[in-house]
Chain A
């Protein structure tokens, strides 16, 4: 196959994958939010909806949500601006799906004479692309607020836009500090840089060269700003239920509301991906660079099997605890033994991992195997980081109360912005000294 054709196919496939990834995360995030909030509040959470008796720990509620939202009446208010009113949810969803295109899932691998890249697009100005696309998300909020011809919508939209614009500054300053350190705006090379060791005045410290260690202040700024950008608690003033009913999407129903709802969650997923990529080394496995991993397939396979074994045993054990609780609850039907099934499934996977360990100690491996394994391990590593931040979004939401509007603006303009500027100054001085 021609190399160019291969590259084109590669890009097309990765575009589709990165397009679908947040959509796949959305039902999981909704489930995580419901179950996480329940567990934080000492509740059980959703466990009633079922398909053929299978409840999947409340995951089935997502299906019923979809059915409910699709069956609802799709209302357009009489005096709404029909064009913008209809456009806003689509705009919101589209914008929330775009930024992932430049996130690398794993280091490129050479396989059968072709270079396979796990990144849809690799611009030299990649980071600016993220900033520009995410800042377009504010239009959806403003349009939805204005076009639905409702004062609460409008107030929610205005609050939200003011907040997003204010916090975009701190976000930008955090990224500028990061750019000064990495000396590059291309996302793939930023991630590669993070695979090295942290070097201070020529001394290598036993820490990976991650953005969180290089720029801790910028990390905090970026984290707070991304909470504000995604309109999440404690910055979800746009949807202050007690004040604005529901904020900018009061008038929306049916599929349009579903789009807003999904956009909120896919924004969170995208923000998690961006934070993980910029500050937590992206796909980099801590302490092991891509070359080292690719050169030692046997050790990597052993490590993967041991990690998988531990994880499966842990999950099986925790689900088993849950199963014993559920057993006392449901006296008959699938629900009685379903958690035991999943627990057993994970224990079975643990056994498979042990078998893989046996294979790893005895087998000999082709060079492509090590590369593919490295890519998979790096994807898993990125996934773990992303899942942590997804959980952080949920965790923070169910911990903190909402900020008051003046507190929000004070924090944005009087605290984060000066902090970002000081951070820039310190970073510049530091770079001058250390050169």
Chain B
């Protein structure tokens, strides 16, 4: 067992009174400051006011789109394989475009299982999935509503559409922090 020698109070300090009074003065200072000047309180009234999240926030997923609006995803299953929480469920279908082999018919992310590790983003060879929607209050009343479908994940204005697959990150969506598209 390791014994740590800490400075014990000596003499008059043993009554703690001076320290107590100094502490009380500190807290009273905060009370006076906040009562006399409530507008300067360093608080954000959360549901009414929201702070802008930093650009590099790892937020909710979104599925990127090609220029014609089709999903960039080719249902290669790399993200679903990389996912440690097994929250991504993909069902593939044949693509009408002869240059592209597959498309996701269904692409669902179970947000109740997702651990926000970002492995799916790293795994994706086409930059089809990103986690940059600055939405941190993910909530729902039913389990079903927490399974985000392909349509929901693609429902954004596809800012930062790029021809090459090395887009500069981070990306900020133009719509407000909490406006669900």
Contacts and interface: CB of A to CB of B under 8 A. Distances in A.
B43 A44 contact: yes
Q: Residue among B14, B15, B37, B38 with the most chain A CB within 10 A? A: B38
Contacts of B30: 39-42
Contacts of B38: 321-322, 324-325
**Interface size bracket, B side:** 20 to 34
Interface stretch (A253-261, A355-363, A371-379, A392-400): A392-400
Contacts of A331: 48
A399 B24 contact: yes
A103 to B, nearest CB: 26
B7 interface: no
Nearest to B30: A40
A316 B50 CA distance: 30
Contact of B41 (A42, A324, A398): A42
A395 B39 contact: no
Interface string B169-181: 0000000000000
A325 B16 contact: no
A156 to B, nearest CB: 23
A318 interface: yes
Q: Residue among B16, B28, B37 with the most chain A CB within 10 A? A: B16
A361 to B, nearest CB: 34
Contact of A44 (B31, B37, B41): B41
Nearest to A410: B14
Interface string A303-330: 0000000000000001001101100111
B35 A400 contact: no
A33 to B, nearest CB: 13
A331 B47 CA distance: 12
B45 interface: yes
Given A220-B17, A411-B14, A398 B27 contact: yes
A39 B28 CA distance: 10
Contacts, number: 60
Given A399-B24, A399-B27, A321 B45 contact: no
A231 B20 CA distance: 18
Given A42-B34, A42-B41, A330 B48 contact: yes
Contacts of B42: 42
B14 A329 contact: no
A399 B23 contact: yes
Contacts of A325: 38-39, 41
Contacts of A324: 38-39
Nearest to B17: A220
Given A39-B34, A40-B30, A395 B24 contact: yes
Nearest to B32: A39
B24 A329 contact: no
B158 to A, nearest CB: 32
A321 B36 contact: yes
A67 interface: no
Nearest to B24: A399
Nearest to A323: B38
B163 interface: no
Contacts of B24: 395-396, 399
B103 to A, nearest CB: 45
A399 B20 CA distance: 8
Contacts of A36: 31
Interface in B12-69: 14-17, 20, 23-24, 26-28, 30-31, 34-39, 41-43, 45, 48-49
5 contacts: A42-B41, A318-B36, A321-B36, A321-B37, A321-B39
Question: 9 nearest interchain CB pairs?
Answer: A325-B38, A399-B27, A399-B23, A329-B45, A40-B27, A39-B34, A325-B39, A39-B31, A322-B38
Given A36-B31, A321-B38, A396-B24, 9 more contacts: A40-B31, A325-B38, A328-B39, A329-B45, A331-B48, A399-B20, A411-B14, A411-B15, A419-B15
